[in-house]
Structure 1
């Protein structure tokens, strides 16, 4: 694979993966707004059902996307490309989304697997609210990262034009 082909593939994987991650985050955000209407038993059942499948799907998308964005940053840095700044900003935003995921959302997800829908914890609504706020923050990071990836990829030459 030539360097130009590697850059092209890296750009496409970064942008496509970033779009899928952002779409998933936005869809989950809207779903969570709808779930606020449910009482504890139904809310818990939905959360347990969706998280039996959703985390592995996001992992399958996130890992190659993150790797592609890291590679995009490294390639842009090596080429002195104007794509470096938006690609690096996207990488920072993806790291921030991971921090939110692993410090707030994932621990709550794991805890919710142990909840009994017929005997929910007394503070279930507060925990739900904390998860939803953290997810909203994570969604903003994903949307901004996608915007940065778009700026790094769309209509931007990768190599810095040579001075004549």
Structure 2
């Protein structure tokens, strides 16, 4: 049963990393290349769509990692505990830095966007790059613990 939990947790975290990586390095660069009105719409739609799903994914990944750490404590769980701690950091970072910007951005239209919308999106992107690095590190630790 522990093996199934380990594999399931690793897959869930890995998929989350893949989505967040593609947002950072594929989707947002595509959106940034669009005309401004389309870019605002794309970012707002992405913020609404992923903003509805990602909280469950992040918290779910964290809970699964914590369960793994507790269930596998007899087998040595150092990498899992550190990976879970990094997931905690990513959740805190999300709540304090990224979610407030996303909550504003997901309501914007070409007509209602603020004058500094690009600066706000650039700030979100910078925070997101750091968050992606953190969750990649957590994923690498979980993979290390799995193998």
Q: Partner of 2:17 in structure 1?
A: 22
DSSP 3-state at the match of 1:52: helix
RMSD (Å), alpha carbons = 1.6
CA distance in 1, matches of 2:32, 2:109: 18
Q: Partner of 1:74 in structure 2?
A: 70
Q: Mark the CA change 1:9 to 1:63 in structure 2 (over 3 Å): closer, same or farther.
A: farther
DSSP 3-state at the match of 1:58: helix
Report the number of matched residues.
146
Answer yes or no: is 1:33 the counterpart of 2:29: yes
CA distance in 1, matches of 2:108, 2:45: 12
Gaps of 5+ in 1: 155-164
Structure 1 residues 6-155: aligned runs within 5 Å: 7-30=2-25, 31-77=27-73, 79=74, 81-82=75-76, 84-154=77-147
Bigger helix fraction: 2
Between structure 1 and structure 2, the one with the greater Rg is 1
TM-score normalized by the length of structure 2: 0.89
Is this contact kept in 1: 2:47–2:105, CA < 8 A?
A: no
Instruction: Summarize deviations over 1:106-130 as a string: whole Å, max 9, x none.
Output: 1111111332313421111110110
- The 4+ residue runs of structure 1 with deviation greater than 4 A are none
Shift of 1:104: 1.4
TM-score normalized by the length of structure 1: 0.81
CA distance in 2, matches of 1:39, 1:128: 15
